[in-house]
Amino acid sequence: MHQALSVFDMFKIGVGPSSSHTLGPWKAALSFCQFLHASGVFDKTLKIKVLLYGSLAKTGKGHGTDLAIQLGLSGLDPVTVDTTGIDNFIDSILQSKQLKLDGKRPMAFDPVVDIAFLFTESLPYHPNGLSFLADLSDGESLSQTYYSTGGGFVEQEGAVNPSAQTIELPFPINSANDLLHWCMKTGMSIHEIVAENEMAWRSDEETRAGLNKIWQVMRDCMYKGCHQQGVLTGGLNVKRRAADLNQHLLKGRAYTGYDQWKSAIADGGKDFRYILDWVSCFALAVNEENASFGRVVTAPTNGAAGVIPAVLQYMIIFCEGNREDKVIPFLMTASEIGCIFKKGATISAAMGGCQAEIGVSSAMAAAALCECLGGTQRQVLMAAEIAMEHHLGLTCDPIGGLVQVPCIERNTMGAIKAITAAQLALQSTPDFAKVTLDAVVKTMWETARDMSEKYKETADGGLALQIPLSLSEC
């Protein structure tokens, strides 16, 4: 049976800094509120305690997991919440030791006591596990356990996995070989295959409108990040760099708003170093916003959210003949590559290290760029393979459990590798390639299973030990 995943499973609008440690727990808390309603016990709920296991416990403070849970239990939507008011909202809960459950019922809640970080315990199904325990007024209690499996995907223990739903797609795809089969049989490009499959969920007009909204959030995030000065919170005192770089590269050229900014960038020419600096600037901007609880799009995760916007912006500004009308084909192609990695391996750093985040996002961006620059279907898959092949084994070792170092800079590396991989594929004959995309997906998953747990988003190894920062400082 094939897994039916949509482009909007890969690209979700949310709040940083982590899709698995922030967005996932936030959605789990919202789901628990729905469970209380469905069980008929919402009005009888007196007390809720939350248990965080494994990676959620070890890096939860740095990733804002506890904050996300409070926002979710309060009924706030990560897609629409006013991100500028999050700090005050959380502070009010801390001071009053009370929240409004699902935005409706005041309930005593002390986050210091009622959210437990179980650093030495892990659940067998997935490292990102969390349980909600509710005490009721009739003396009964109930609980639910959820798993945040990466990219904002959440699974409830004992429930049918929604990603395994049996929606009938005209072109069912689990692997790169499946995708290539349908392309060869129909003569369609990859994004055309994706567009046909998306109509199993909604009309083509709705899909296009949704993807334009995804791009709008991406570019707004990028634009905002390129104009935001300051130091990132969390204890590392990392200075934002995108705004200074943006100012330096524009050399005084005036603009108002995104469209004029884009034109001002293009007016600077096409020197190799100039373009390289801008790609880095775009990626830095997104992930500095992500690290600041800004609004971002999972691509396929929050920690890797800067790669695809940076490469897409590069294509629009610097690649001859490419305009905003290529956005939808780009995002559709990228999403299918992300789906293949999720089905055949993982997009969770807690399961596979950073190869599952930056590696996958780089492969997605490489394939999408190759397609939009006229690559054949085989060249597109080759581009994705090249990008991932050179991310294999990449560890996840966030200092202080924060999505800052090395995460922000890794997005610049992923974007540059994606562009290089696309160029290599466009200048190559895939028939002579020694490695297939499916082989790389399999290798990535085997590497993930072999990788030491301390390199899987635990802050127990790598750079996290070389630059010590206690969780209390975060």
Predicted confidence band at 468 (pLDDT cuts at 50, 70, 90)?
low
> In this structure, are 156 and 168 located in the same domain?
no
Query: What per-residue confidence (pLDDT) applies to 339?
Result: 98
Q: pLDDT digit string (tens) for 174-230?
A: 999 999 999 999 999 999 999 999 999 999 999 999 999 999 999 999 999 999 999
- pLDDT exceeds cutoff 60 at 310: yes
- End-of-domain residue from the set 131, 161, 191: 161
Give Dmax (Cα) for the chain: 71
> In this structure, are 324 and 269 located in the same domain?
yes
334-351 mean pLDDT: 97
Predicted confidence band at 471 (pLDDT cuts at 50, 70, 90)?
very low
Q: Which residue has the higher pLDDT, 106 or 321?
A: 106
> In this structure, are 148 and 276 located in the same domain?
no
Query: What per-residue confidence (pLDDT) applies to 456?
Result: 94
Q: Is residue 3 part of a domain?
A: no
> In this structure, are 169 and 150 located in the same domain?
no
> In this structure, are 128 and 254 located in the same domain?
no
Query: What per-residue confidence (pLDDT) applies to 323?
Result: 74
Q: Is residue 81 part of a domain?
A: yes
Q: What are phi and psi of 14, to 5 degrees?
A: -160, -155
Q: Alpha carbon of 137 to those of 214, 235, 304, 349, 441: distances in Å? A: 43, 41, 44, 40, 50
- pLDDT exceeds cutoff 60 at 433: yes
451-455 mean pLDDT: 95
CB atoms within 10 A of CB 38: 9
> In this structure, are 149 and 82 located in the same domain?
yes
Q: Count of domains in the chain?
A: 2
Cross-strand pairs, 101: 105
Q: Is residue 107 part of a domain?
A: yes
Query: What per-residue confidence (pLDDT) applies to 165?
Result: 53
Percent of the chain predicted with pLDDT > 90: 93
- pLDDT exceeds cutoff 90 at 92: yes
> In this structure, are 357 and 245 located in the same domain?
yes
Asked if 214 contacts 12 with a C-beta cutoff of 8 angstroms, the reply is: no
- pLDDT exceeds cutoff 60 at 474: no
Query: What per-residue confidence (pLDDT) applies to 159?
Result: 81
Q: Is residue 10 part of a domain?
A: no
- pLDDT exceeds cutoff 90 at 166: no
SS3 18: coil
Peptide bond into 300 cis (omega under 30): yes
> In this structure, are 296 and 413 located in the same domain?
yes
Residues 389, 431, 179, 209: what is their CA dihedral angle, to the nearest 10 degrees? 80
Round the average pLDDT of the chain to a whole number and report it: 95
- pLDDT exceeds cutoff 60 at 289: yes
Which has the minimum average pLDDT: 145-149, 233-237, 299-303? 233-237
Predicted confidence band at 160 (pLDDT cuts at 50, 70, 90)?
low
Q: Is residue 9 part of a domain?
A: no
Say how far apart CA 459 and CA 440 lie, in whole Å: 26
> In this structure, are 421 and 280 located in the same domain?
yes
- End-of-domain residue from the set 161, 192, 207: 161
Query: What per-residue confidence (pLDDT) applies to 396?
Result: 95
Q: Is residue 6 part of a domain?
A: no
Residues 6+ positions from 164 with CB-CB distance below 8 Å: 1, 3
342-347 mean pLDDT: 97
Query: What per-residue confidence (pLDDT) applies to 56?
Result: 96
> In this structure, are 112 and 217 located in the same domain?
no
Task: Kindly report the CATH number assigned to the domain that includes residue 55.
Answer: 3.30.1330.90
Q: Is residue 12 part of a domain?
A: no
| Number of residues that make up the chain | 474
Domain extent at residue 462: 164-473
Query: What per-residue confidence (pLDDT) applies to 469?
Result: 57
- End-of-domain residue from the set 161, 183, 218: 161
Q: Is residue 377 part of a domain?
A: yes
Query: What per-residue confidence (pLDDT) applies to 325?
Result: 86
- pLDDT exceeds cutoff 80 at 25: yes
Predicted confidence band at 351 (pLDDT cuts at 50, 70, 90)?
very high
> In this structure, are 123 and 71 located in the same domain?
yes
Query: What per-residue confidence (pLDDT) applies to 472?
Result: 36
> In this structure, are 57 and 74 located in the same domain?
yes
Query: What per-residue confidence (pLDDT) applies to 451?
Result: 97
381-406 mean pLDDT: 96
Say how far apart CA 22 and CA 68 lie, in whole Å: 5
